[in-house]
Amino acid sequence: MKELAKRFDYLFRSTRGLALVAIAAVGIVTAIWGTLSGPMVEWGVRDITVNLLGMDLIQADREGRIIMLYHTIAMTIVAIEVYFMTEILPMKRHEQVLINGTITVGYLLAMIFGLFFGYFGHNFAFHGLFLVGQTLVFFAGIMLVAALWPWKKDYLLPEGSPYARTKNGVDVERAAFFVMAIATLISATWGAVTGSFWANGHETFLGEDLIRIPHKTALQKAIIGHLHIMLTLIAVAITLIVGKWLDFKGKLHQWAMPIMIIGTITITFGALSIVWMPWAHNTIYVGSVFVMFSALLYVIYSWDKMIKEGTADIEKPNFFQKLKALVDDPFKFGSGWQMVFMNFTVSGVGIFMAIKLEEIFRVWPHREERITLTGHWHILSGIIATIILFYFMDLSGIKGKARKWAGWIIIIGSDLAFGAATVFSMKRLFVSDTAQQPLVNTTMLIMDFGLAAILVLLAIFLGWRLIDLFAKDGVWSNEFAAEKQANAKADLEAQKQKLAEIQATLDEVSK
């Protein structure tokens, strides 16, 4: 019993354990719900899942169900990012505990009851608990914003710090996290306000189904803005997180962080102002340029660092030695590479669509345009997921051959799949409906192959972490001990500081 309690403690009271539970939760949802579409339908697996679990899939509710599914996964991804942030950003211990505790209850309620409501009959108690869960996630966000307050004296950076700071010593990176968190809360409100109108005559829709309707309501536009910006902000958050992971600093950091703040504010304003501004898209483009430029600076810094560290013992490294050093650690290389790759499959496609909308995309049938739209944001979600995996697998201490295999399977598998998905979604550029069969068959197979490789890898990783929980001195135990030690040290520092403050007060009173 005591041993079980220890594991429970690790899983729900340490940030690593919480992140592991959340990743496992997304993995399980992906494994089960992934059988409801794509090739799994063709192979008859969907029917088995539906019958085995007793799912109630009413055709008219499909769009609503998908929205519930997106939200349950998004809440969990947000929770994972928040766990990472509370671990890597200095904050008070009680703030970390409160934020992590609240968001954990929140995402679990949202996930469990959202899926129950969406897929197992419309019991409105489930819907209520889904909303309670989302509210708790939002509340955790407010606490995160408070904890990240960058002007707090404790978090100012000393003069000469290699990290971006203002003249007054404000940590600009912390400010970037802070701005991203505030932007996320505002953007979540956009969705929540519209969502609250659902029972009052507003009807469920998927954004891609509305694109050709000439007159959209303000609430419809609010939802379209909401879904775009939430995913963007999740991407901004993971970019900042991996920046901490690779100890992003120096001149490029000093440029990148203010640029990221400007980009985050601009792109958020642009996406939300779509409700009332006809030229909101231009604001979004400007914001995107800033955000992507900031990410580019991170990529330049991290690759340069990897090359320098990998060739430190070579006096004059040649190109191939530098290249070998760059790709030696696929986890760290991959975090930047996926951002570069994103430009071909997400940003590039988006910009191309915007420029050629009239001449190309609006000439295609709506269904083709819809596929391109859903394709590019599914790919962005997938890329974010791969970067989270790189980071968490690194935290889990995967080394040696396992690290290389895992890293390259993720990079090659995802890039093959996302590249094929991009070709598939843009197929009308190079092949007519009449002659598309070989291209469709090939791209579909590559997508299935790439995604299956990653999912199998994820299953192996989670299986390993599950087995590890049975070991007395497993990875979990070391992680837990290290975190306890770090927390104890932080508590000790806090106590010392508190004691010093009390002593100062006493000294002042006794004078």
Partner 1 sequence: MKKMIFSLLLIGLLATACAPAPNVGAINDLPYVDTGVDPEAWATVPAGDFYASQHDHLTYVDEFEIMITDVTVEQYANFLNEAIASGDVTVGEFDLKVAEELTLQKEGAGGYYEGDPFDAYKHEEEIEEGDQLFAAMEEGLRMDYDGSTFTAMEAYVNHPMTMVTWFGANAYCEYYDTRLPLDLEWEKAARGTELDADGHGRPFAWGSDIHGNYANYYSSADLFEKMYGKLGNTTPVGFYNGQTYQGYETHNSVSPYGLYDMGGNVWQWTGDDYHDQHYRNMRGGSFYTYEVDLRVWKYNSAGPTHYAPEIGFRCAK
Q: Is 153 in the site for partner 1 (CB under 8 A)?
A: no
Tokens 């191309």 locate to 352
Q: Which is nearer to partner 1, 206 or 490 (CB)?
A: 206
Among residues 375, 393, 377, 291, the alpha carbon closest in space to that of 335 is found at: 393
Which range of residues in 106-114, 176-184, 318-326, 429-437 is near partner 1 by CB under 8 A?
429-437
Binds partner 1 by CB under 8 A, chosen from 48, 52, 53, 63 = 63
Q: How far is the CB of 71 from partner 1 (least distance, A)?
A: 19
Stretch of 91-99, 251-259, 385-393, 434-442 contacting partner 1, by CB under 8 A: 434-442
CA distance 437 to 414: 23
| Cβ atoms of residues 342 and 377 within 8 Å | no
Binding-site member from 49, 135, 374, 436 for partner 1 (CB under 8 A) = 436
Selected binder of partner 1 within 153, 167, 212, 316 (CB under 8 A): 212
Could you write out the DSSP letters of every residue in 141-197? HHHHHHHH-TT-GGGPPPTT-SS-B-TT--BHHHHHHHHHHHHHHHHHHHHHHHHTT
- One character per residue 18-57, x = contact with partner 1 (rule: CB under 8 A): -----------------------xx---------------
- Provide the minimum distance between the beta carbon of 38 and partner 1 in the complex, in angstroms, as a whole number: 9
Least distance to partner 1, CB of residue 437, Å: 4
Question: Residue 403's CB: how many other CB atoms inside 10 A?
Answer: 16
What single-letter amino acid sits at 99? Answer: I
Q: Quick check: 437 binds partner 1 (CB under 8 A)? A: yes
CA 96 – CA 242 distance, rounded (Å): 19
Q: Does 359 bind partner 1 (CB under 8 A)?
A: yes
Closest to partner 1 by CB, 4 or 60: 60
Report how far residue 433's alpha carbon sits from residue 458's, in angstroms, rounded to the nearest whole number.
Answer: 36
* Whether the Cβ atoms of residue 233 and residue 183 lie closer than 8 Å to each other: yes
Query: The tokens of 213 are what?
Result: 């309707």
- Report the candidate in 56, 186, 48, 202 with the shortest Cα–Cα distance to residue 126: 56
Which of 51, 168, 200, 434 is close enough to bind partner 1 by CB under 8 A? 434
316 binds partner 1 (CB under 8 A): no
Which residues of this chain interact with partner 1, rule CB under 8 A? 41-42, 58-60, 62-63, 203-204, 209, 212, 214-215, 357-359, 362-367, 432-438, 440-442, 444-446, 449
